[in-house]
Amino acid sequence: MNQSKLHIVILAAGRGTRMRSSQPKVLQPLGGRPLLAHVLATARSLKPAATHVVIGHGADAVRARFADVSVNWVLQTEQRGTGHAVQQALPEIPDDARVLVLYGDVPLLTQDTLLTLIDVDGPALLSVVLPDPTGYGRIVRDEDGAVSAIVEHKDANPEQLAIDETNTGVLAARADRLKGWLSRVGSDNAQGEVYLTDVVGLAVEDGLTVEVVQATDPDEVAGVNDRRQLAAAERVLQRRAANALLDAGVTLIDPARFDQRGRMSVGEDVVIDVNVVFEGDVELGDGVEIGPNCVIRDARIGDGSVIHANTVIEDADIGPSCQIGPFARLRPGTVLVGDNRIGNFVETKKATLDQGAKAGHLAYLGDASIGKRVNVSAGVITCNYDGANKHRTVVGDDAFLGTDSQLVAPVTIGARAYIAAGSTITRNAPDDALTICRARGQKTIPGWRKPVKDSGK
């Protein structure tokens, strides 16, 4: 169809009492994003002329969460059913538009399924066959197999309750016809509400054929009304994400123990072990290996780098051929140029490590620029915070920072400088010299030479 005439109405006004939450139901998280975000993303993929979101309970919170999204917000001040909710949006939709009705708590619908639905000329609805249709409206057909009505579960008789083809609530129709049908719908039913589904029977009364598109995957049309259903939807979403990565050539040691809560791009020969969580935007280069129990958020990891077990990486840029962890934490602003080693119980924040620099274990590097091939020994700390402001530490190429040294920023350690173990450095240390600061005070030893490894050992 001509998408320039497509208007999408998303019903998102419900409170979701079964969630037992102070948050509106459509803001509950699925794959790291609110339920409504998934529906809006699918709606955008259809390139409609406009998207109208009907909100009610928690309207201010919903609007605030999606303040940067271009939609027409429609307030339903009194929740009187799905038909009433659609009526609130229709005045701003041209009569000749095709209206597609979606739901803010049905997040797993795919673009392909909806394209099939909106390509139908007349009124059309989406159905699904369920092994247990309890609670769902039934698709009632005549002796010729044509749809004659939709009957809600609470209003169905025993014969209708035996029907396993159910209504998903998703439908498409011309706007002027929807307006007319909804003006004729009453609320004489078990819920005392204006049912959107009643327009199907009215369309049949008007001599129109209602086409049915049957969803092939019940998971795709499942609604989310409570925590159990939310957890089930999460598993479906994660299974889709895992399958997409497998299709892209990624090795997932166990696809069932994997979580993607954002967007990922991957190179060739990537290996991901169990219980790894990816959040935000993550890019993995060729040959990257991720060990078990890692959390990686908004990060780029270069070719050939290995992230060992139980490592947390956030907002970091890791170059090629790095070794990270186990039990390392890379905080926002960390940049590893390449060939770096960050070992167990090392924490970095706003730190840049140039080519070949390494911190093997038990160190903190914050607000620091670490030169090429620098060795950061165990227990080294950059003292970057004076209680009010942060200060930077600069370490030149090929410097050696001895065990249990404290670098009190702002301070510069020269190229090829050697800081003796146990030193507290409060002043700049020059190039090519040993600097030691223990109980007798800091001093520099001119002409000092770096120890040479015994070739016989």
Return the ∠ at Cα 315 (arms to 313 and 320), rounded to 5°: 70
Q: Are 271 and 249 in contact (CB under 8 A)?
A: no
pLDDT by 10s per residue, the chain, length 457? 556 699 999 999 988 889 999 999 999 999 999 999 999 999 999 999 999 999 998 999 999 999 999 999 999 988 888 999 999 999 999 999 999 999 999 999 999 999 999 998 889 999 999 999 988 899 999 988 899 888 989 889 999 999 999 999 999 999 999 999 999 987 777 677 888 988 988 999 999 999 999 998 999 999 999 999 999 999 999 999 999 999 999 999 999 999 999 999 999 999 999 999 999 999 999 999 999 999 999 999 999 999 999 999 999 999 999 999 999 999 999 999 999 999 999 999 999 999 999 999 999 999 999 999 999 999 999 999 988 899 999 999 999 999 999 999 999 999 999 999 999 999 999 999 999 998 777 788 888 888 787 776 5
3-state helix, strand and coil shares in percent for the chain, rounded to the nearest 5: 20, 35, 45
State the catalytic residue, choosing from 52, 308, 361, 391: 361
Catalytic annotation on 57? no
Q: How far apart are alpha carbons 359 and 343 in whole angstroms? A: 6
Q: Burial of 262 by CB count in 10 Å (0-12 exposed, 13-18 middle, 19+ buried)?
A: middle
Q: Homologous superfamily of 3-221 in CATH? A: Spore Coat Polysaccharide Biosynthesis Protein SpsA; Chain A (3.90.550.10)
* CATH 2.160.10.10 in the chain, residue ranges: 227-445
Q: How far apart are alpha carbons 449 and 44 in whole angstroms? A: 66
Q: Homologous superfamily of 227-445 in CATH? A: Hexapeptide repeat proteins (2.160.10.10)
Q: How far apart are alpha carbons 185 and 177 in whole angstroms? A: 13
Beta bridge partners, 264, equal 282
